[in-house]
Amino acid sequence: MKDYRFTLKPYRTPADRLECPHCHQWHCFSPYIDTEGMIAFPAYVGRCNHEHRCGYHYTPRDYFHDHPEAKAELLAKDAAPIPRPCHSARQHLAAEPYYFSMELVAQTEGHYQRNNLYLFLEERLGTEAALQLTKKYHAGTSRYWDGATVFWQVDAAQRARTGKIIYYDVVTGHRAQDAEHHVTWLHSLRHIDKEWITQCFFGEHLLGKSDKPVAIVESEKSCLIASFYIPQFTWIATGGKDGMLSKANLSLFKDRKVILFPDLGQYDNWLRKAAELKVRGIDASCYSYLEDHATEEERKAGLDIADYLLTEDPRKGVLRDMIRRNPAIGLLVEKLQLEIVDE
């Protein structure tokens, strides 16, 4: 997306918005600003957030059309086309990112009997493990949908960047695919402009707590499950096919072994990401066993490592029993020189 010289003023909360000059509702109007500071537009140059009820949108282009003398004056100052891309606009407007309070994070870490993902994990892994995992990773309960989970993105400095809200089926543990239960974000629900949000890895807050190798998966649920079955890694999640891999803070991985665990169908993409990390000095590799040995049905389903791990019984020696019954896990342990931990 291009950054333009004339842009709507960023805001942190709805209270920062102004009264609309058309519908006269408060906290819904954003004025336009000149990121180069050469012109101050009148207060009526802006957009109302009530697109259907009001629809007011008076742009800088409209203003210069109605006031050619203002356009001529500006052109005389800098001879710039209007509007023009301003590649430094985002940096020019940059401010401290918005952070949610950790008190709010703590408030969501409960009511787990109304959390479908927790109930699924409790059924498969046991109450103690399910509770430990959700607390460890700051996976809370959301009231947005009855049964929904909020995955907090807490960074290495223990600051909550945002929360991702997902609804899971309590029986299958699969993410809902219907239109009603689409993935949503806490900053959107609280009307905090995405300009103030800088995302991070899910589980990033754990990286400073040990020097274990780092394992990266796509989904937050897979991160929780893999952390239970293979605790020899610090597991984190990108939250998407590319997600944070394209914009990661590489200092997080300094002097750490990093292994990428792509979902089926994403191996080639993540292999390229691993190569990019290597070029930038990170000891990164991409786990290929699933891609090499998956059936056609498994490929169509887009399974990931958590789907394979969940076929194992966590009450039977965990890693040793997994190696005996699943060669894929045994190869992983051998390749990465992991130690088997007795229960």
Is residue 122 located within the same domain as residue 61?
no
- Residue-level pLDDT at 3: 57
307 and 242 both lie in a single domain = yes
Can you give the pLDDT at residue 338?
Answer: 62
Do 83 and 102 fall within a single domain? no
Q: Residue 102 falls within a domain, yes or no?
A: yes
Supply the pLDDT for residue 335. 63
Which secondary structure element, helix H or strand E, spans residue 142, and what is its range? strand 139-142
Q: What is the pLDDT of residue 128?
A: 95
Predicted confidence (pLDDT) per residue in 83-132, tens digit: 444 433 344 344 568 899 999 999 999 899 999 999 999 999 999 999 99
CATH code (residue 230): 3.40.1360
Q: Could you read off the pLDDT of 205-256 as tens digits, one per residue?
A: 999 998 999 999 999 999 999 999 999 999 999 998 766 777 777 889 988 9
- Which 3-state string (H, E, C) describes 56-81? CEECHHHHHHHCHHHHHHHHHHHCCC
User: How many independent structural domains does the chain possess?
Assistant: 3
Q: Is the pLDDT of residue 44 over 60?
A: yes
Instruction: Output the pLDDT for position 212.
Output: 94
Q: Are residues 102 and 220 in the same domain?
A: no
Greater pLDDT, 28 or 322: 28
Structural domain harbouring 13: 6-93
Q: Is residue 196 part of a domain?
A: yes
Strand partners, 178: none
Residue 322 above 60 pLDDT? no
Q: At residue 166, does pLDDT exceed 60?
A: yes
Which pLDDT tens digit goes with each residue over 52-96? 778 888 899 888 888 888 887 777 655 444 444 443 334 434 456
- Look at 28 and 221; give whichever has higher pLDDT: 221
Between 101 and 343, the higher pLDDT residue: 101
Are residues 257 and 184 part of one domain? no
**Domain assignment present for 176:** yes
Q: Tell whether the model's pLDDT for residue 315 goes beyond 70.
A: no
**Mean pLDDT score, 142-152:** 94
**Which range is most confident: 14-18, 53-57, 165-169, 304-308?**
165-169
Considering only residues 187 and 318, tell me which one the structure prediction assigns the higher pLDDT: 187
In a domain, 1, yes or no: no
Is 331 part of any domain? yes
Residue 205 lies in a domain: no
pLDDT (0 to 100) of residue 4: 67
Going by C-alpha positions, the residue among 190, 229, 232 that lies closest to residue 211 is 232
pLDDT digits (tens, 9 = 90+) for 256-313: 999 999 988 888 999 999 998 898 889 999 998 888 888 888 888 778 888 888 886 5
Domain boundary among 34, 62, 93: 93
313: Cβ–Cβ under 8 A, 6 or more apart, which residues? 321
Whether pTM exceeds 0.85: no
**Residue 161 shares a structural domain with residue 33:** no
Do 214 and 328 lie in one domain? The reply is yes
For residue 339, CA distances in Å to 125, 233, 255, 322, 336 come to 21, 11, 20, 13, 9
Cα 181–186–191 angle (5° rounding)? 110
Instruction: Check whether residue 80 and residue 21 sit in a common domain.
Output: yes
Establish if 83 belongs to a structural domain.
yes
Domain boundary among 93, 109, 138: 93
Domain end, chosen from 59, 93, 127, is at 93
Q: Do 120 and 193 sit in the same domain of this protein?
A: yes
253 and 332 both lie in a single domain: yes
Please state which of the ranges 159-168, 173-182, 191-200 shows the lowest mean pLDDT.
Answer: 173-182
Q: What Cα–Cα distance (Å) separates residue 263 from each residue in 27, 74, 120, 288, 291?
A: 43, 53, 21, 10, 8
Please check whether residue 291 lies inside any domain of the structure. yes
Mean pLDDT of 170-177: 90
* 264 shares its domain with 328: yes
140 in the same domain as 85:
no
Looking at 3-7, 44-48, 155-159, 225-229, which range is the least confident one? 3-7
